[in-house]
């Protein structure tokens, strides 16, 4: 069978060529041509100068004032896995497309198999399309999960057209594609996993979801840099983007909503990987603390607020004398922000690290994106530099500005209360976060500037 002709479209200017070229002949951009299927030309050559005008098309879709459109709440089906429903905003949505990304081996297939089984039990017909593993491998996993009696339909297939045909024939309510990178369409000649294939397949599956009301869940791989492999356009196409986080060596996993058209973002679900799959952790606030029997230098606990729940996370720093090119390394925290904090420390608190290697780590593989971590990062760095531990039961949070000021973190009271509940006793927090009424068992030092925070800590030695 002759393949349909494909064209190569430039990412930068939108121009197209019939062959792949290193340089776009239209705009001169390098490496920007991506294979795609040409749109079927309709309506003759000069579509824009249609002599009869567009009158014939105007009635195709009537315009409606917004007020006349009934706002319907989307129908959701909870998956029964509470932590997953929390990030999804209550459950899977009819016709919704969810992209779930994460490192290999972190538990994407495990979680989705558990979720599909729960949905199937709730009465939704489900289809699990596996392109990475054979049916037997999935069956083996289901036995491990204790759901080997499951009625989830399985399809081991990677060709998009066959998957679409199966969906049409079996009419499931929820389809999992594991993974989008293994799926390919025979309309394109590029290899599976290439940008062109990933984009094309995701677009077809999205169109299918919107057209039929089937919920589609796509599994996506993450590159070494932590971005979803394939084009960013994937994130724009889908309704919900979830990321798996966590260290594969530790049992805890976070599922974070990065984008959600049907719910709140930055809500997280917390799981523990056990012998029998992923189990939700409903009270996660203390799982990211490492258990030191005695306080050690270079460690400072912070309270981060993820979605609706505060989490206590230990920040560790190691400052060590360096060679001519000192290194700055951070795991789970923004590297540029670390450089900025070191500059602020030097300038506004007189703590110089210019000739030192600085390593910073958020314990347990969490990623902390909020600036409220700043103060804890700084205090762990100075603690390591001085070789003096922070006192037992100590924690801190607050954003630090370039002028050396300490800015408040949102919902400070909730953070303080959670820490107090877990037995923490001393805190350095931004002045604006200091509670009006004392919290039992908690000594609070409110600070406005970085040097003030350093002084308070020295006074606690």
Binding site for ligand TYD (CB under 6 A): 102, 104-110, 141, 144-145, 273, 275-277
- Minimum separation from the CB atom of position 27 to ligand TYD (A): 39
3-class DSSP string for 144-196: HCCCCCCCCEEEECCEHHHHHHHHHHHCCCEEEEECCCCCECCCCCCCCCCHH
Stretch that binds Mg ion, among 16-24, 109-117, 189-197, 416-424 (CB under 5 A): 109-117
Distance CA 227, CA 217 (A): 18
Rounded Cα distance between 381 and 300, Å, is: 9
Which segment (68-76, 102-110, 201-209, 230-238) binds Mg ion by CB under 5 A? 102-110
In angstroms, give the least distance from the CB of 256 to Mg ion.
18
Distance CA 241, CA 255 (A): 10
Pairing mode of beta strands 215-221, 97-102: parallel
Q: 131 vs 277, which CB is nearer to ligand TYD?
A: 277
Nearer CB in complex with ligand TYD: 140/438: 140
State yes or no: residue 182 binds Mg ion (CB under 5 A).
no
Nearest CA-CA partner of 243 in 263, 224, 226: 226
What H or E segment, with its residue span, contains residue 219?
strand 215-221
53-77: string of b/e by CB count within 10 Å (b at 16+)?
eeeeeeeeeeeeeeeeeeeeeeebb
The site partner of 141 among ligand TYD, Mg ion, none (C-beta below 5 to 8 Å per kind) is ligand TYD
Residue count at the site for Mg ion (CB under 5 A)? 1
- At its nearest, how many Å lie between ligand TYD and the CB of residue 156? 15
CB nearer ligand TYD, residue 216 or residue 273: 273
Which of the choices Mg ion, ligand TYD, none does residue 276 contact, using the CB cut-off of 5 to 8 A by kind?
A: ligand TYD
Which of 28, 104 has the CB closer to ligand TYD? 104
Minimum separation from the CB atom of position 111 to ligand TYD (A)? 7
Token pair recorded at residue 455: 């002084």
Nearest to 139 by CA among 152, 148, 130, 126: 148
Comparing CB distances to Mg ion, the nearer of 28 and 104 is 104
Query: Smallest distance from the beta carbon of 269 to Mg ion, in angstroms?
Result: 18
Question: For residue 432, what are the contacts with CB-CB under 8 A and spacing of at least 6?
Answer: 407, 408, 412
Give the integer Cα–Cα distance in Å for 181 and 183.
6
Nearest approach, Cβ of residue 238 and Mg ion (Å): 18
Q: Which does 135 bind (CB under 5 to 8 A by kind): Mg ion, ligand TYD, none?
A: none
Residue 145's binding partner among Mg ion, ligand TYD, none (Cβ under 5 to 8 angstroms by kind) is ligand TYD
Token pair belonging to 383 = 């603690």
Identify which of residues 180 and 312 has a Cβ nearer to Mg ion in the complex.
180
Considering beta carbons, is residue 109 or 382 the nearer one to Mg ion? 109
**109 binds Mg ion, rule: CB under 5 A:** yes
What residue ranges bind Mg ion (CB under 5 A)?
109
């Amino acid at each position: 069978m002759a393949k349909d002709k494909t064209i190569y479209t430039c990412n930068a200017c939108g121009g197209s060529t019939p062959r792949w070229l290193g340089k776009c002949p239209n705009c001169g951009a390098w490496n920007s041509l991506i294979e795609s299927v040409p749109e079927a030309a309709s309506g003759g050559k000069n579509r824009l100068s249609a002599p009869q005008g567009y009158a014939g098309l105007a009635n195709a879709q009537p315009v409606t004032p917004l007020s006349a459109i009934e706002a319907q709440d989307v129908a959701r089906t909870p998956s029964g896995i509470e932590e997953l429903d929390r990030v999804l905003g209550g459950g899977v949505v009819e016709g919704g497309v969810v992209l779930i990304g994460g490192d290999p081996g972190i538990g994407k297939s495990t979680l989705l198999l558990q979720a599909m089984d729960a949905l199937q039990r709730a009465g939704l017909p489900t289809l699990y399309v596996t392109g990475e593993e054979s049916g037997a491998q999935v069956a083996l996993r289901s036995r491990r999960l204790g759901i080997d009696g499951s009625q989830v339909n399985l399809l081991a297939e990677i060709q998009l057209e066959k998957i679409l045909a199966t969906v049409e024939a079996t009419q499931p309510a929820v389809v999992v594609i594991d993974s989008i990178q293994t799926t390919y369409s025979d309309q394109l000649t590029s290899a599976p996993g290439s940008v062109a294939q990933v984009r094309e397949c995701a677009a077809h599956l999205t169109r299918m979801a919107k057209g039929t009301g089937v919920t589609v869940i796509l599994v996506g791989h993450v590159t070494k840099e932590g971005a979803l492999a394939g084009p960013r356009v994937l994130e724009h196409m889908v309704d919900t983007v979830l990321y798996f986080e966590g260290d594969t060596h530790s049992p805890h996993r976070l599922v974070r909503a990065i984008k959600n058209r049907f719910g709140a973002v930055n809500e997280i679900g917390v799981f523990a990987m056990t012998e029998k799959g992923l189990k939700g952790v409903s009270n996660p606030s203390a799982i990211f603390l490492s258990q030191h029997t005695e306080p050690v230098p270079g460690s400072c606990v912070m309270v981060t607020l993820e979605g609706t729940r505060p989490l206590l996370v230990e920040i560790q720093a190691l400052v060590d004398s360096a060679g001519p090119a000192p290194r700055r390394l951070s795991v789970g925290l923004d590297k540029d922000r670390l450089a900025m904090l070191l500059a602020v420390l030097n300038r506004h608190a007189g703590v110089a690290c210019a000739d030192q290697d600085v390593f910073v780590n958020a314990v347990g593989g969490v990623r902390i994106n909020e600036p409220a971590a700043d103060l804890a990062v700084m205090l762990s760095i100075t603690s390591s530099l001085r070789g003096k531990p922070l006192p037992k039961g100590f924690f801190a949070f607050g954003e630090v500005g370039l002028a050396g000021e300490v800015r408040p973190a949102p919902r400070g009271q909730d953070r303080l209360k959670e820490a107090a509940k877990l037995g923490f006793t001393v805190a350095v927090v931004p002045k604006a976060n200091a509670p009006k009424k004392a919290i039992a068992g908690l000594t609070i030092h409110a600070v406005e500037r970085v040097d003030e925070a350093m002084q308070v800590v020295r006074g606690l030695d």
